[in-house]
Amino acid sequence: MDEKTLIAAARQGDTHSFNQLVSHYQDMVYNVAYRILGDNEAAADASQETFLSAYQAVAKFKGGSFKAWLLRIATNACYDQLRVHQRRPTSSLEAIYTDSDPSSHFVNGHETPEEHTLRRELGQAIQQGIQTLPPDQRVTLVLSDVQGLSYNEIARLTNTSVGTVKSRLNRARTRLRDCLLEQGELLPARYRLRGEG
């Protein structure tokens, strides 16, 4: 069945059809949540909350991009989680900096153990850099550079103007770049920003 048929069935309360949509989008939602929150459990909670909210509100879905609609709900769920983490800053920071990147456990069959280690270190460095950004910049960066959404899509999704998206994205990238430059010596030589060129 195509997406429109599944959505129409889900609007009638067909849980099975909705769960087919869940299985198609759950990796995307989880990745966005993880990159924004930087914590496995918080990301899982936000993802579950996203699909539950989507199921409860699917009757109000007025057509258009289901992916964008889902990402909007996911972003709001992430903001909620961030608020919860802000109330418990100590545990949150501990979770962020001691939590290993789950992608490091995902071994690519074509890479050597050395390459796997390098990729893991890089993933951790980038994730730590993202965590230093303010929430709005973080969300914009993830939606643009991890999910590949356009400026217009991000502006609609976050209820802001394209100008604001441009500004937030430029600041986020510059700050992340500076963060990676500071960790330059820690990064594998292949990934050192100044080492190339």
Partner 1 sequence: MSFLRKKSEHEWAGETLSAYIDGELAGRERAQVEQHLKECQACAENLRTLRQTLALLKELPVIPAPRSFAVRPGVARPRPAPAPSAWGYGLLKGATAIAALLLVLLIGGDLALHVFGGPLVSWAPAAVAPEVALAPSYEADMEAAPMEEAPMLGQQKETEELQATPPENAQAVAPTAPAEPPAAYEMAEETATPPLRAGAGQPAGTPTAEGTPEPPSGAGAVESPETPTPVPAEPAPSPTAAEVIEATGPPPAATPAEEGEQRAVVPAPDETPQMLAMTDQVEGQVPGQTPPQPEGGAAPLSPLRLAEFVALGLLVVLVPATAVSAWWTRRTR
Residues 39-58, one symbol each (x = binds partner 1 by CB under 8 A, - = not), give -x---x--xx-xxx--xxxx
Q: How far apart are CA 47 and CA 31, in angstroms?
A: 9
DSSP 2-64: -HHHHHHHHHTT-HHHHHHHHHHHHHHHHHHHHHHH--HHHHHHHHHHHHHHHHHHGGG--SS
Identity of the residue, 90 or 197, whose beta carbon is nearer to partner 1 in the bound complex:
197
Identity of the residue, 95 or 181, whose beta carbon is nearer to partner 1 in the bound complex:
181
From the list 91-99, 101-109, 131-139, 153-161, the region that binds partner 1 by CB under 8 A is 101-109
Kindly report the number of other CB atoms within 10 A of residue 51's CB atom: 20
Say how far residue 144 (Cα) sits from the centre of its chain. 10
Chain positions contacting partner 1, by CB under 8 A: 10-11, 13, 15-16, 18-19, 22-23, 26-27, 29-31, 34-35, 40, 44, 47-48, 50-52, 55-60, 102-103, 106, 108, 119, 122-123, 126, 141, 144-146, 151, 166-167, 169-170, 173-174, 176-177, 180-181, 191, 193-194, 196-197
